[in-house]
Structure 1
């Protein structure tokens, strides 16, 4: 059995043995971990400091093949303490013992992480640029590259900010990260967001409401692969289209980490045989959605920019390919296109 997929009873047995050792060694006082009702429960009346809890769970995660073991412990325990990371705590705070309530919450959340659930889902939130967004499975978790996409859009559109109003469309909104970040940065912006997943639409709406942007964001449950005319009627015209569409090649899906495959929505990742199924549809619809000289920004696979450029130039889609940009790993990742006037 794979380490990250070990049963609750097996995980509990390992932690129980480990805790006995830590208790004998004076690392933690009191009795060993218990398995109650199929869940991992903390030892009762156990004195555990913040630092000890990090050490315990880092070792546990490492033993069971959980990726980024130390970071996982850090994020979860910091979250329970009301912080983003433990680095923001004073050194003396690391030596303070967890309250009974804090200890129980740490154990409950870390037990979820032991199932390989991504940390973002475990703590039910994640930071994207300047915003903290609610997260829950199976809605796609935004990656650092998409923060770069937003930065690229904002930098490129500075010349347009003097307009009294701007309107953008996000195709495949997921948690709403892109739209909400743009709304946060551009006060005169109105946005439209759509997704084929009802879970994503609901989460975007929840995040928009929490952050106070619901009055500037229209959210639609639409599938651009099927709801073509309705998408055009509901969303156009816009100055900007921005999208991080599913762009993985189907053959590459099998090589993803197990925690991604098990918990995240495959339809937000799998772009078909060549990763361009949804991208082609966006390119086809863009001239109908954009205003004259409106721009489109896409996050894609590094193999896609030359293919997109050729497709646009050969098929005369009413678009002009303006250029490509690399991400922080120096891989081609972003495409900029413009509707011909």
Structure 2
């Protein structure tokens, strides 16, 4: 679709901040939002003047196509504040590129790069007080695009809305989780849009995850749709397996999200001389490794969770506990990544982006 730019960013500030009403010591993830949001409409084949306005409800026609055909994509990012009060993003270019890749797969228009970064920078400077320093504290950033054209005709829309909203966050997952290897339901299929951060990908996960929770597990490890013989993702995260001192993770594909945290962990591991084997990972080999003791760790990787250790997994009615590792890869990589994000360590890769 045509990608054109009209005018510059407009800013409409709140008359009074609501930050004083927020208990930053007891945050529920994704339920509290900052004072402002970024909004830009796509009408008549071009993106209109982008705006930052007070956070609040949207007014939309009930026939807006997002409600009927699911044209919606999103991203997940975080802003971090260091001990000097400076604010940083982590590899935001990856998020920008990926939201456009997701949009393309759903026949949605590409969003201009200068709009994205100007809007993001301005929004974070306006709501800077919402970004609290300290390990685990961050501002979760949710850019997303929805189809707003009023029509129930089954085709791609002509009108869209690009938004960025922000939510103060602490740690997303607490402690270790148990996961169930899924044998029936599938997250995505070959030729589909599992690689895109499309809203429908996540909606389809809720029911199988609900069933897993009823069995005492917190999350699912998804397997391939064709045979259910290969491990793919863990819930909403990419997944890693440590067998002895080697890390295994599935390659990205039509079915698997190209996670920013995933690729960052691979780079960190390789720089530190840890062998990373990116290949299809059979369920049977993980089960065998659990039985013979060579499976040392399983952990998920994603923006919200960063690194989330798995303490046990279930498969075909059997439950496999993992022995706790004294010097785990999960804790090592989480600290290494967060040290870069919070400006406590050298950024040898150029990943940090100062706001």
Same structural fold, with TM-score higher than 0.5 when normalized by the shorter chain: no
What is the TM-score normalised by the length of structure 1? 0.27
Relative contact order higher in (CA < 8 Å, ≥ 6 apart):
2
What is the TM-score normalised by the length of structure 2? 0.26
Task: Name the larger-Rg structure.
Answer: 1
Of Structure 1 and Structure 2, the greater strand share is in 2
